[in-house]
Each structure stands twice: as C-alpha cells, then as structure tokens.
Amino acid sequence: MDTSLTIDILTGLAAIGLLLVLLLWWVARHHRSIPENQTLWQERNYTCVQCGIPMQQGWVLMGKGAIWSERTAGRPGSFALITAALPNTISLRFRPAANMAWRCTSCQLVLIDHSKLVH
C-alpha cells in the first residue's frame, strides 16, 4: 500500500474521530441530567389546555431528541442535525435519562418539560 495513501486514510479517520468527540462534547454540555427526586413533581399538576381535565404525570424518552421547527419554517426533515434538538432532550447515558411529561388521555396532548433530564 502506498505510504501517502495510508497517511491520507489515517488523517481522514482522525478528522472523523475528532468530529465525533466534539459532537459528543457538545451534546453532553447542552443536555443536563439530574437525579430523580419526588420534589420535582410538587406543585406541577396541570390541566389540559384543550379540555380542562387534569393531566397524567409521567415520563417521555425522546430518543434522538426533540427536533423543533417553527411552524413557518416547515417540518424538520428526516436528516435533521442533532444540534437542532431542544436542550435537555438527548440522553447519552447507558440507562437513558427521561423528560418529565404530562399527558391528556382524552385529547392525546402531551406537555414536556425539557428544562432538565431526570435519571
């Protein structure tokens, strides 16, 4: 194998590795996770904005994050960047952290708190 080709391949792999490390650093820095605590739920009883019945408390696991796009900008595409995810909606933990959420079983609306992830 040509030495210059080997160097080019290694340089490319190093660049990809560096980009992955920077992406993981960015995600870890912009998504905070706190331990579960019963006080998190205190005085957080919400009613549905559509029908007015009490919403059910629970958890939402967002997967690749909640990708937000304003209505006027159109729907996000299938290949939306991870950097477009709302803060605190991506968990890199082995046992993923989740977002606190409330849902209306009647209207099927969900309210998600993305101020923090809870593990």
Quick one: pLDDT at residue 1?
61
Average pLDDT over the chain, rounded to an integer: 88
Residue 66 inside a domain? The answer is yes
**The pLDDT of residue 43 is above 90:** yes
Residue 7 inside a domain? The answer is no
Residue 47 inside a domain? The answer is yes
Residue 13 inside a domain? The answer is no
Residue 92 inside a domain? The answer is yes
Number of domains observed in the structure of the chain: 1
Least confident of 6-20, 36-50, 82-96: 82-96
Residue 20 inside a domain? The answer is no
State which H helix or E strand residue 116 sits in: strand 110-118
User: What pTM value is reported for the model?
Assistant: 0.70
38 pLDDT band (50/70/90 cuts)?
A: confident
20: Cα separation from own chain's centroid: 17
Q: Which residues form the domain of 100?
A: 31-118
Residue 2 inside a domain? The answer is no
Least confident of 69-73, 81-85, 113-117: 81-85
Percent over 90 (pLDDT), the chain = 43
Half-sphere exposure (Cβ direction) of 64: Cα atoms closer than 13 Å: 9
Residue 36 inside a domain? The answer is yes
Q: Are 51 and 107 in contact (CB under 8 A)?
A: yes
What is the pLDDT averaged over residues 36-61?
Answer: 94
Question: What radius of gyration do the chain's Cα atoms show?
Answer: 20
**The pLDDT of residue 82 is above 80:** no
Measured distance CA(65)–CA(35) in Å, rounded: 19
Distances (CA, A) of 102 to 1, 15, 92: 59, 42, 23
